[in-house]
Structure 1
Amino acid sequence: MKVTCKNCNQIYTGHYCNNCGQTAETHRINFHFLWHEIRHSLFHFDEGILYSGKQLFTRPGHTIREFIEGKRIKHLKPISLVIILASLYGFMYHYFHISFVEPSSNGPSETGIDNVKFNEWMGTHYAWTTLLLIPLYTIGTSIAFRKQGYNLVEYFILNTFKASQKLFVHIALFPLLYLFNGTHTMTTLSFTIYLIDVVFIYWTNAQFFNKLSLKKSFLLTLLSQLIFLSCLFLIIFVVDLILKNL
């Protein structure tokens, strides 16, 4: 049966307009419509998070490669996923007053940065900080794995999913942060969590770049981390230099 699209007036057959994607069946906006939309939105929202989370811990590299190649319908959008998880972690970080600064390190550091204020700023801007670090990870990955045939944006998507994977891990390990918060153990714990992050990054890279040997994936993963850390320390050095001259 021919249908005239109520959105763009395209005449078509089927359940969706082949011009703009509007559904053929449109219902009157009432309480029934509102309830249906709420249930539909929440179901697909939760389903997307759960699906992406499961995939990132069962077959991370394979599912990210498939997403880049076009298999995307079940995933929550990668940037949206990062923002949601980072906002949740940032809220927990801020609400429970988590501090990676040792008790003896409170107040201004040797660089003149107030550790307490910096820690508080990190808690309230965690989502933005996470997003801003993704390009640095992308630089490291794109240089280390430059011969694998992906463009810069595809490497960005890869590292966006890695950031979500890392946030899932950090949220799962949050009880340990709360337990040892404000103690000298936090330094060891934060380093241990970083090593766990690197293990997951390697696992993801080994699956994503599945044409490489495990040894080469491992070495290139370490190289990408060194490039990321170099970029990060360079930015911190420049910012610190600017602050000292203000």
Structure 2
Amino acid sequence: MNTARHRSTLLTLAGTALALSLTACQNGSGVKSSSAATPAATVASSSTTSGATVAAGTDGSGAAGSAGTARSTGSAGSTGSTGSPASAGSAGESGRQAAASTPACTARNVRVTAAGQDGPPTTHIVLTAKNTSGHSCRLPGFPHVQFLESHKQDVPAVAKSKPAAPVVLAPGAPAYALVKLSDGGVDEDNEPVSAFSVTLEGDSTVVAVAAPGSEGIAVDPAKALTGYWTPELRNGADDF
């Protein structure tokens, strides 16, 4: 009887051990199955959400790429960079450098004439300097004018009439300078002038210029002024 109970006990223990062994095997296979399925689930999740991730900027590499692409596109497609003040400034500087390299006009290649600007009474005249050479030349500054033998000083120049860019004359092209003679008052100390002298800046050659009109012009040396050479006659811009 004891022997039968002992065998029964052994069989019970053996069955329990086998059940535990099978349970352990099943649990182990479940773990393996779970770990094997994890990459697939991860890949599926990433492929499904990758577009949203990059657009939302949650992926560090994707966000950097998007920002870099946007900046690159903006830089390549930007039109403002070509029209920036710095670019405009560079173009202006190039123009000034080109003008500086052009030889200065001299009395040998420029013809100076005078014409009445208003009147009567004529209070202003306009000087015209025309390039008579076969090459371009630079006409700097203002005309150095002396109206009377008794007044050897040059007529003062008006600073506000100075042009922003150097004046370069192509062959046959003119430049202009407005010259004030007087205030037009009958009580002024005017003197008649039929001809006067002009010299160009940087050239000591004296150019004799005939005064406009059959009776010449009346000049008050205390009121006389001259403007700078400009490429166009700026009516009203240089009133003085």
Specify if TM > 0.5: no
Query: Which range, TM-score by smaller chain?
Result: under 0.3
- Higher relative contact order (CA closer than 8 Å, sequence separation 6+): 1
Question: Going by fraction, where is strand more abundant, 1 or 2?
Answer: 2
Largest Rg, 1 or 2: 2
- Give the TM-score normalised by the residue count of structure 2: 0.24
TM-score, normalised to structure 1, is 0.24
